[in-house]
Amino acid sequence: MLFLSLFMMEKDSLNVLILAAGLGTRLRPLTNDMPKPLVPVVDASILDLQARKARAIGNIRLHANAHYLADQVVAAGEKLGFEKVWVELPEILGTAGPLKRIYNEGYRGGLLIMNGDAYCNFDLTAFVRNAQALAAQPNGPQVALLAVDFPKVNTFRVGPDGRLAGVVGRFGSEEGMPATFSGVSWYSDEALSRIRDGEFDIREFWKQEMAAGRAPFVDMKQLHAIWIDMGSPEGLMAAVEARLKELGRNVNEAVVEPGVKLPAGVTIKHSVIYAGAEIQPGEKIENEIRGRGFKWKIN
């Protein structure tokens, strides 16, 4: 009976993988001592915020991968109640590698992928339900990719059937509806089984699926949802503004990391202050991000 109940749980629970293995090079020196998914955004890290959004789906098991400063991600995962943080050493396994690794370890129930460096307000429940419903149809797509409209990128090309027609500069057609991949995707167990062992680039898997007549579905229903790549100083500030707005606070207010002591007479507006920032008494700070060893002016 115990075996049966565990089996049923395995089948019914959706697995969620938050990708958190990146090096965070665009945010250094802020990320010299802290992995990017753990950078505070007002009141919580992106890893925490993504986990909260995933839990809103319902019956899930949370996973993350880790490489750079992996011990910190593992500790955060334990605190946040993750099923497992999959450490990738000595090399990062790309995007396809972590997916196949989870499948090979016996996890079933489908897999939702999220990024550990993106602030967003997607309706993940609607996305997953739509993906699962399409996959259940005869010859239905076993992979779904959530798209946004971001003209600076928009490398996706989507055919009239709603499926991926190509990725500009990589493969397939350069004609069709333009869109940008949000980093959020869903894979059925059947699709995961087809990822090759040792595969790193998930785009190669999409290409293989297209060649086999199984092109991924591209969900275009949330094109204008909030989606912010917080991998740069400008992106981090945009994420802070979005979080303040979500909390019902003024987007121009100062965000000071707990424990930071400000000198007398300092005034701060539309800025973020992290531990170790150098601040002079009486200084006026506006449109900046500061921390140990850096001062970023944000236009």
- Compute the distance between CA of residue 187 and CA of residue 267 in angstroms, rounded to an integer: 49
- Compute the distance between CA of residue 109 and CA of residue 70 in angstroms, rounded to an integer: 26
**Per-residue pLDDT at 24:** 86
User: In the predicted model, is pLDDT for residue 25 greater than 60?
Assistant: yes
Q: Which residues of 32-55 are buried (b: 16+ CB within 10 A; e: fewer)?
A: eebbbbbbbbbeebbbbbbbebbe
- Compute the distance between CA of residue 14 and CA of residue 62 in angstroms, rounded to an integer: 9
Query: Quick one: tokens of 14?
Result: 């959706």
Residues 165-175: tens digit of each pLDDT:
999 999 999 99
Residues 238-277: tens digit of each pLDDT:
999 999 999 999 999 999 999 899 999 999 999 999 999 9
For CATH 3.90.550.10, the residue range(s) in the chain are: 2-227
**Per-residue pLDDT at 11:** 55
**Per-residue pLDDT at 91:** 87
**Per-residue pLDDT at 40:** 93
Query: Quick one: tokens of 230?
Result: 């917080």
pLDDT band at 127 (very low <50, low <70, confident <90, very high): very high
Query: Quick one: tokens of 183?
Result: 């980093």
- Please give the distance of CA 277 from its chain centroid, rounded to a whole number: 28
Quick one: average pLDDT of 291-298?
A: 95
**Per-residue pLDDT at 160:** 96
Quick one: average pLDDT of 13-21?
A: 96
| Omega prior to 90 cis, within 30 of 0 | yes
Which among 67, 61, 73 has a CA at the least distance from the CA of 37? 73
* CATH tag for 2-227 (out of 3.90.550.10, 3.30.470.20, 3.30.1330.30, 3.40.50.2300): 3.90.550.10
Quick check: 192 and 107 in contact, CB under 8 A? no
User: In the predicted model, is pLDDT for residue 7 greater than 60?
Assistant: no
Query: Which backbone phi and psi does 113 adopt, to 5 degrees?
Result: -105, 135
Quick check: 47 and 20 in contact, CB under 8 A? yes
Quick one: average pLDDT of 213-242?
A: 96
